[in-house]
Copies of this chain bind each other. A is one copy, B any other.
Amino acid sequence: MMQTLADIGEDELIRQFVRGLKQDASVIAGPGDDCAVVQGSREALVLKTDTVVEGVHFTEATPARLIGRKAMARVISDFAAMAATPRHALITFIAPPHIPVKRALEVYAGLRSMAESFGINIVGGETSRGNQLILTVSMTGTAPNHQWISRNQARVGDDLYVTGRLGGSIQGKHLKFTPRMAEAHWLAKNLKVHAMMDISDGLAQDLPRLANACGLGFEVDLAALPRTPGCTPQQAWGDGEDYELLLAISPKTSAQKLETWKKTFPKLKLTRIGHLVEKQDAPLAPSGGWQHFRS
C-alpha cells in the first residue's frame, strides 16, 4: 500500500524533507526551531514570496519534481528581474492528507534541486493540510546597495527588449524554464538598463504594468515579438508564464554592446520589441494576458 501523509504525520514528513539539506556557512540555525537564523549583511536585503496552486499553476497530473522546480524557479526569476541574488528560502507545503508520501518527497526534491543549482539555502518552512497542493516559496537575498534594477525608472524614448521567445509556455516551458539569472546580471552590468521585470502574466499584462510604474505609455510592434515556434503574434503577446526578461534600455546603448550579448549568450535572443512614449501618445494596446480571480 502506498504510504500517505496521513500515515506518517507532520513531524516525520518534515524530517524526510530536510534530511541531508545542503547549507552554506551563512546558515546559523536551519529548520527545527521557531525561526531560522542566518547571517545578516549590510547590503540591501531583497525579499520575495511566490505561490503555485494546484489547478492554477499546475494540475494533479503534473510530474511532482516539476511542481517543486517551478515553485522555486518563479521566485528566482523575480530576483533575476531585479539583478539581485537569492540566498535563503522558506517553504510552505500545503497538501491533502491522502497524498502519497512519495509524491510529496518528489515535489520537495524538485524544490531542493532548483535551489541547489542557484546556491540557495532552504532554511525552514511550514506544513499544513489543505484541499489542494499549494507551495509557497519565500526568499531573502541581497543586492549591492542601489545596484538593483526596479521596474519604475524607465524614461521616454527607452527601447523595450525581451529575452528569448514568447508564447505557448503551456506546452511545457512554464514547468521547465530556467530563470534568466546570469543574463540579468550581465545586462545590468553591461547595458544602460533603466527598468527590468520578468514576464510572468504575459506581456499584455506585464508591459502595461512596467509602463504604468514609470508613468509612461508604450508602442510595441506585435509582428516584431520573438515567437516560440508555432505561436501567433497574439499568443506571444497574451500567453502567460514566459519567465523571460522585459527591459527598458537607454536608446544611447551602443550597438556594439548589443552585439556583445550575442557572443555571450549565443543561444538566447535579445529582441527590440518597441519603445516607451509619453502616456498620451500611446496607441491602444490589444488585450490579453493572465489575471488571477478573473480568468
Which A residues form the contact surface with B (CB < 8 A)? 5-6, 8-11, 13, 28-29, 32-51, 53, 55-57, 78-79, 81-82, 84, 88, 90-92, 94-95, 97, 123-132, 134, 136, 138, 140-143, 148, 150-152, 197-198, 209, 213, 291-294
Bound-complex Cα distance A128 to B152 (A)? 24
Q: Which of A37, A41, A124, A213 has the most CB of B within 10 A?
A: A37
A-B contact pairs, 15 of them (CB 8 A): A10-B291, A10-B293, A34-B78, A37-B148, A40-B41, A40-B42, A41-B45, A49-B49, A49-B138, A51-B92, A56-B130, A92-B92, A127-B292, A131-B132, A136-B136
Tell me the nearest residue of chain B to A98, going by C-beta: B293
> Residues of B contacting A151 with CB < 8 Å?
32-34
B140 touches A45 (CB 8 A): yes
Bound-complex Cα distance A198 to B34 (A)? 8
Q: Report A185 CB to chain B, min CB distance, Å.
A: 14
Known A292-B10, A294-B10: A45·B38 in contact at CB below 8 Å: yes
> Residues of B contacting A84 with CB < 8 Å?
35, 37
> Residues of B contacting A140 with CB < 8 Å?
45, 47, 140
> Residues of B contacting A38 with CB < 8 Å?
44-45, 47
B42 touches A128 (CB 8 A): no
A128 touches B9 (CB 8 A): no
Q: Which 10 A-B pairs have the closest CB atoms?
A: A138-B138, A34-B81, A49-B90, A35-B48, A34-B78, A5-B293, A10-B292, A36-B47, A40-B45, A9-B294
For the complex formed by this chain, how many copies does it contain in all? Answer: 2
A29 touches B130 (CB 8 A): no
B33 touches A37 (CB 8 A): no
Known A6-B294, A35-B84: A126·B49 in contact at CB below 8 Å: yes
Tell me the nearest residue of chain B to A50, going by C-beta: B126
Q: Report A197 CB to chain B, min CB distance, Å.
A: 5
> Residues of B contacting A88 with CB < 8 Å?
45, 47
Q: Report A88 CB to chain B, min CB distance, Å.
A: 6
Q: Report A31 CB to chain B, min CB distance, Å.
A: 11
Bound-complex Cα distance A130 to B197 (A)? 25
> Residues of B contacting A78 with CB < 8 Å?
34-35
A126 touches B82 (CB 8 A): no
Q: Report A75 CB to chain B, min CB distance, Å.
A: 9
Q: Report A7 CB to chain B, min CB distance, Å.
A: 9
> Residues of B contacting A46 with CB < 8 Å?
35-37
Q: Report A128 CB to chain B, min CB distance, Å.
A: 5
A124 touches B42 (CB 8 A): no
